[in-house]
Amino acid sequence: MLLGCGTGVRACAHQSKAHDHPEHLSFHGRDGAPYPVHMTSEHAALIEEATKKSGLVWVNGLAMWHAWIDGSMYVLCGGPTEQPAPAGLADGAVAAVTVRSKDKGGRLVGWQGRAQALAPRSELWSTAVAELRTKRLNSADADTVADRWAEECTLFRLTPEGDPAEHPGAMPAGSGAAVPLASPAITRQPIPAGLPKLLARRKARG
Domain 5-168 annotated CATH 2.40.50.1020: no
Q: DSSP for the chain?
A: --SSGGGS-EEEESSTTGGG-GGGEEEE-TT-PEEPSS--HHHHHHHHHHHHH-S-EEETTEEE--EEETTEEEEEE-SSSSPPPPTT--TT-EEEEEEE-TTT-SEEEEEEEEEEEPPTTSHHHHHHHHHHHHH--S-TTTTTHHHHHHHH-EEEEEEE-SS-SBBTTB--SS--PPPPPP-S--PPPPPPTTHHHHHHHHHHH-
Sign of CA dihedral 190, 193, 197, 199: negative
pTM given for the model: 0.69
pLDDT tens across 53-102, in order? 998 999 999 999 999 999 999 999 999 999 999 999 999 999 999 999 98
Each domain of the chain, given as residue ranges in start order, spans 5-168
pLDDT tens across 102-161, in order? 888 888 999 999 999 999 999 999 999 999 999 998 888 888 899 999 999 999 999 999
